Structure 1
């Protein structure tokens, strides 16, 4: 076997080995990012948003019920249509959270606790409605209303459980992002096999041009173009991974805006409840230590409701857009394997004739 043929065989082996490395690493990176992006788009981001929606709906329902009882409308219409609508929205959000849940068994257990507490809350509101309609039992109605509101607001209550669940869903997103092992920071490492293959392809063509005095090797040129395209697809994949980080940042922004809205609405409702309780408390003995502390605290709140609905809505749309953009494959699931395998075939074709020329030379 001549030295030229040995060199050609080694070049072919090295080119095919690098092509295989590019295929494996590029497909692994793509599927890792794509799987995470689709999960974030379809489940995790939705779970976080639905938890905030459930919290907002429950606070709105509680405030609506308190307003109805405080104004006397409850004697005609019970806790009111707004209360029913918001409670229904909260139930729908909880159902979607169960569907999208990424917090595992802990998240499922938390949802069960929340659902049981909401059922108890609804039952207490129903009892308050019955008592407020009776001329001789409004005090009992106020007690029921106070008890219902405590089911939402007390430590370990519905709102605290939901806030904890929101944190668990957000933590799940962080775990998913860190599990990919792919990012723009590590881009040079991921591109190393592609760059090595491109360099070797160029050196091989230069060697063939010098050794065989031919202008160009068309199959190897085509393989070079395909490998460069696969490299570009890998870069786009890593950029998509980077967009997932912005999903988390935007989710935090939406959660902050909605959290402020929830707090303002909640403070307003609790101040109104404190005023309602005052009507039924003994002026000298008060309502009891717990209720008196609550009334004092509620009167001290100064949170002012702000209309940031458009900001929150725009933020939620931005979350959806970023998640959808990160999950958009752009056909890379076909380009990467097809382009790499075709490049390998062209490498074999481009070197086959040259290797065969020296098969029987001494």
Structure 2
């Protein structure tokens, strides 16, 4: 075998090996980012949003029930339609959290605790309704209402558990983003096989031009164009991964906006509950240390209600848009394997004739 043929065979082997490396790295990068993006879009971001929605609905339900009992409407309509609607919304959100849960077994256990507490809360509100309708049992109704509210607000209660669960879902998002092992600062590392293949393709064409005095090798030129396109696809894949970071930032913004609304609505509802309890407390002995402490704290809250509905709504839409953009494949799932395999075929075609010229030379 002549030295030229040996050199050509070695070039072909090196080009095919690098083509295989480009195929493996590019497909791994694409599927890693794509799977994470789809999970974030379809499950993780939804889980975080639904937890915040459940918290808001439960606070609104509690405030509506207190308002109904405080105004006397409960004697005719019970806790009220608003209470029923908000409690139904909270139940729907909790069901979706269970469906989208990304916090593993801890998240599932927390959901079970929350659902049992919500059921107990609903039972206490129903019992308060029964007592408030009885002429001589209004005090018992106030006690039931106080007990129901404590199920939501006490340490370890529903709202605290939901806030912890929201944190777990948000942590799950961070773990998913870090698990891809890809980011724009690492772009040169992931592009290394592509760059190496491009350099070798250019050197091979220069060698063939010098050795065989041909103007250009069309198959190798076409392979170079394809590999360049694959490199561009890999860059867009990493840019998509970078968009996922903005999803987390958007979720934090939505959580902050809704958190402000939740706190303001909750403070208003708790102040109203404190006023209601005062009506049934003994003027000299009070309501007991725990209830008196609650009334004192509730009346001291001065949270200013701000309408962050537009901010929260815009944030939810932005989360959906960023997550959808990150999960948009742009056909790269077909371009990468088809383009790489075609480039390998063009490499074989471009070198076959030159190698064949030296098949029988010694």
1:135, CA displacement in angstroms? 1.0
User: What SS does the corresponding residue of 2:216 show, helix, strand or coil?
Assistant: coil
1:303-325 Cα deviation digits (max 9, x unpaired): 01111101100000000000000
Q: Give the ranges of 4+ consecutive aligned residues of structure 1 lying more than 2 Å apart after TM superposition.
A: none
1:311-358 Cα deviation digits (max 9, x unpaired): 100000000000000000000000000000000000000000001111
1:6, CA displacement in angstroms? 1.1
1:133-172 Cα deviation digits (max 9, x unpaired): 1111111110000000000000000000000000000000
User: What SS does the corresponding residue of 1:211 show, helix, strand or coil?
Assistant: helix
Task: State the TM-score, normalized to the length of structure 2.
Answer: 0.99
1:108, CA displacement in angstroms? 0.8
- Give the Cα–Cα distance (whole angstroms) in 2 for the partners of residues 3 and 137 of structure 1: 105
- Give the Cα–Cα distance (whole angstroms) in 2 for the partners of residues 342 and 127 of structure 1: 72
1:3, CA displacement in angstroms? 1.2
1:2, CA displacement in angstroms? 1.2
Aligned to 1:185: 185
User: What SS does the corresponding residue of 1:215 show, helix, strand or coil?
Assistant: coil
- Give the Cα–Cα distance (whole angstroms) in 2 for the partners of residues 258 and 188 of structure 1: 40
User: What SS does the corresponding residue of 1:305 show, helix, strand or coil?
Assistant: coil
Matched, 1:103 2:114: no
User: What SS does the corresponding residue of 2:341 show, helix, strand or coil?
Assistant: helix
Aligned to 2:327: 327
Gaps of at least 5 residues in structure 1 are: none
1:72, CA displacement in angstroms? 0.7
Superposed CA RMSD in Å reads 0.5
- Give the Cα–Cα distance (whole angstroms) in 2 for the partners of residues 155 and 193 of structure 1: 55
1:180, CA displacement in angstroms? 0.5
Q: Give the length in aligned residue pairs.
A: 362
Aligned to 2:25: 25
1:84-113 Cα deviation digits (max 9, x unpaired): 000000000000000000011111111111
- Give the Cα–Cα distance (whole angstroms) in 1 for the partners of residues 195 and 222 of structure 2: 16
Task: State the TM-score, normalized to the length of structure 1.
Answer: 0.99
- Give the Cα–Cα distance (whole angstroms) in 1 for the partners of residues 185 and 148 of structure 2: 51
Matched, 1:284 2:284: yes
User: What SS does the corresponding residue of 1:359 show, helix, strand or coil?
Assistant: coil
- Give the Cα–Cα distance (whole angstroms) in 2 for the partners of residues 128 and 119 of structure 1: 14
1:277-311 Cα deviation digits (max 9, x unpaired): 01111111110000000000001100011111011
User: What SS does the corresponding residue of 2:318 show, helix, strand or coil?
Assistant: helix
Aligned to 1:144: 144
- Give the Cα–Cα distance (whole angstroms) in 1 for the partners of residues 305 and 63 of structure 2: 13
Gaps of at least 5 residues in structure 2 are: none
- Give the Cα–Cα distance (whole angstroms) in 1 for the partners of residues 252 and 308 of structure 2: 15
Aligned to 2:52: 52
1:234, CA displacement in angstroms? 0.3
- Give the Cα–Cα distance (whole angstroms) in 2 for the partners of residues 284 and 200 of structure 1: 92
User: What SS does the corresponding residue of 1:360 show, helix, strand or coil?
Assistant: coil
1:361, CA displacement in angstroms? 1.1
- Give the Cα–Cα distance (whole angstroms) in 2 for the partners of residues 316 and 43 of structure 1: 14
1:24-47 Cα deviation digits (max 9, x unpaired): 000000000000000000000000
